[in-house]
Amino acid sequence: MYLRHFALREAPFSITPDSAFFYPHDSAQAALNTLLVALRGGEGFLKIVGEVGCGKTVLCRRLLALLQGECVTAYIPNPDMTPDDLLLALLHELGVDAVGQTLRGQPRRTLPSRRVMLVALQACLIDHAKAGRPVVVCIDEAQAIPLASLESLRLLSNLETEKRKLLQLVLLGQPELDTLLAQPQIRQLLQRITYSQYLGPMDQQQVVRYLVHRLVVAAQSEATDTQVFEPAAAQAIAYWSSGVPRLVNVLAHKCLLLAYGEGSHRVSVAHVRLAAADTPGVRRRRVAWRWAWP
């Protein structure tokens, strides 16, 4: 709606995760560096924990983009599955037709047995290892994994050669993931997580730079004005959003709509106040209605 008004080629503040808009603020860059160093070092289990809306999925997609050509990658966005379904999803991501596999002349089955799937997975991993291609699997929303499926993942991590793991796993989840991993039934899995990183919100100055970064990426050309947010307005967005990227995007999008509706090319504090009053989940404080809704 407002793209032509602000000389943009695409929406700069969409909440759909897009690695092209990845902004390396301190917490995100530290998490990305940890993952890259650990994966290139052959570590088996890694964990990233972050609050809701702090950019775990964008971070994951950025990681997968950087590993293209260097590793075989797989991405599982919804791991709330039984162990067999999770294994089947992993095989599908790796391009293995487990349904068509047979074992010692057994007839083809509509749904393969767990043994058939494990044989197919191990054969796939060994082929990649011989070709010098590490296999990295990223599991998003990992706090939703059932305990039985987590134990299944631990057993999969046993697949290794004398030199390195055949399968490297990255778990990304909300803080509830730590609670899940602390349960005594899966204490062996917790001990195998060699690197862990927290992905937190941005501070005020990072939010200010984040807004400009997103506008630069979405700009039609270098001539596009990316100083759309007045300094006080950018700081207000940082306050209301508490630095959570998803809330920053929601507020910034609504602010651009408000400025466009007024025919303005600048976002003011008044726009931010109106957007915040209309957005669930933002920081709240007691204000007079005539102040929030001028």
Q: Structure pTM?
A: 0.88
Q: Strand pairing of 193-199 and 72-76?
A: unpaired
**Which three-class secondary structure state does DSSP give residue 193?**
strand
Count of alpha carbons within 13 angstroms of residue 116, beta-carbon side: 19
- CATH 3.40.50.300 maps onto the chain at 26-199
Task: Give the C-alpha distances (Å, rounded to integers) separating 177 from 60, 61, 137, 227, 268.
Answer: 16, 20, 17, 39, 39
Q: pLDDT tens string for the chain (294 positions)?
A: 899 999 999 999 999 999 999 999 999 999 999 999 999 998 889 999 999 999 999 999 999 999 998 999 999 999 999 999 999 999 999 998 766 554 444 555 567 788 889 999 999 999 999 999 999 999 999 999 999 999 998 888 888 776 778 999 999 999 999 999 999 988 888 888 999 999 999 999 999 999 999 999 999 888 889 999 999 999 999 999 999 999 999 999 999 999 999 999 999 999 999 999 999 989 876 444 444 444
> Which tokens belong to 276?
């915040």
Q: Which residues make up the CATH 1.10.8 domain(s) of the chain?
A: 202-292
The answer as to CATH 3.40.50 being correct for domain 202-292 is no
Q: Is 22 left (phi over 0), alpha (psi -120 to 50) or beta?
A: beta
The domain over range 26-199 is classified in CATH as 3.40.50.300: yes
